[in-house]
Amino acid sequence: MSTPEATETTGHGDISTGVAGGDSNASATRITPGNALRPEDIALEVKTGLVKPTEDIAEYALRLGDDALILAQRLGHWISRAPELEEDIALGNIALDQLGHARSFLTYAGAAWDKSEDDLAYFRREHEFRSVQLFEQPNGDFAATIARQFVVSYYQYELYRRLTESTDATLAAIAAKAVKEVDYHRDHSAQWILRLAGGTEESRTRMIHGLRLMWPYVNELFQDDDLTQRLAQAGAAVAPSSLREDFDRLIADVLNEAELEVPDVPAAPGGGRYGKHSEYLGYILAEMQVLAREHPGASW
């Protein structure tokens, strides 16, 4: 999360270096910050009064932000623990992508209640979090994490793809940035589903087990409620149920290629959108929030 100073940044610093500069001591490749929507840009728009979400939109952004935030925290735990160094960084990149989405959504949501992204991330209690339960499920072994990534990335892709057409310009802009990143997350998880399912007997067994662990939480992703129906009718949000058909078709393509089946398991009761969480979320929050709560207002 940002420091107060960072939220006041108005432009991209020039950090380009390397071959273009003609410096023979520079890195072989050139690095640039690129030019994309950042959470700081949204914070600036909020601060200058350019954007202010309605209560409904803020509540919706909070849901999507919480999903991404909890997943980022979960994935971050893989850093230094992945099967290979390369995979360590791949999962770390995905975690950072999710954290970026979380920061954007929470910054925007907070504008309705005069709260910063940090206020929302660090100073809410468990029952105030609006993430669905899939995102807080334990990492398990690598196959379980891949199973969770598989469901999440195919769900988020369908969601963000449609949300780019939202009548709310900020939600549409966040989705436009996120959808490209989530597209890569889909590819990452699908590649691993194929390899683990088609690898050794052990990897296949673990992949099947991982999918069984995560599948009870799939239903909750696609449940409509009053809020999403109101917003979907206004064209600002996407009705979760409308994503189901494409999700089912696309994951079936990958599972068929991997010669796997959709697990036949009963759905969990859910309730994450209303603050009902599995026993895991409290522990995640304890670890994620402890530093900010020990030293309120500290910047680093």
Partner 1 sequence: MSPHGNPDAPASSATEINREAPNASPKVEAAPEAGPAVDHHDRSTWGLWEVFVRSSRGLSHVHAGSLHAPDAAMALRNARDLYTRRNEGVSIWVVPADAIAASDPDSKGSFFESPQGKDYRHATYYTKSEGVKHL
Interface residue list for partner 1 (CB under 8 A):
18-20, 28-34, 84-87, 89-90, 93, 184, 187-188, 191, 195, 199-200
| Cβ-contact 103, 117 below 8 angstroms | yes
Query: Can you state the angle between helices 142-163 and 201-214, rounded to 10 degrees?
Result: 50
Q: For partner 1, which is the closer residue by CB, 84 or 114?
A: 84
Q: How far is the CB of 28 from partner 1 (least distance, A)?
A: 4
Q: For partner 1, which is the closer residue by CB, 31 or 291?
A: 31
Compute the CA torsion angle 7, 11, 14, 15 (nearest 10 deg). 30
Q: How far is the CB of 92 from partner 1 (least distance, A)?
A: 8
Q: How far is the CB of 25 from partner 1 (least distance, A)?
A: 15
Residues 6+ apart with CB under 8 A from 95: 71, 72, 75, 76, 78, 79
Q: For partner 1, which is the closer residue by CB, 197 or 231?
A: 197
Q: How far is the CB of 27 from partner 1 (least distance, A)?
A: 8
Q: How far is the CB of 70 from partner 1 (least distance, A)?
A: 22
Q: For partner 1, which is the closer residue by CB, 123 or 184?
A: 184
Q: For partner 1, which is the closer residue by CB, 93 or 229?
A: 93
Diameter of the chain by CA atoms?
A: 61
The C-alpha atoms of residue 221 and residue 202 are separated, in whole angstroms, by: 30
Q: How far is the CB of 201 from partner 1 (least distance, A)?
A: 12
Q: For partner 1, which is the closer residue by CB, 98 or 116?
A: 98
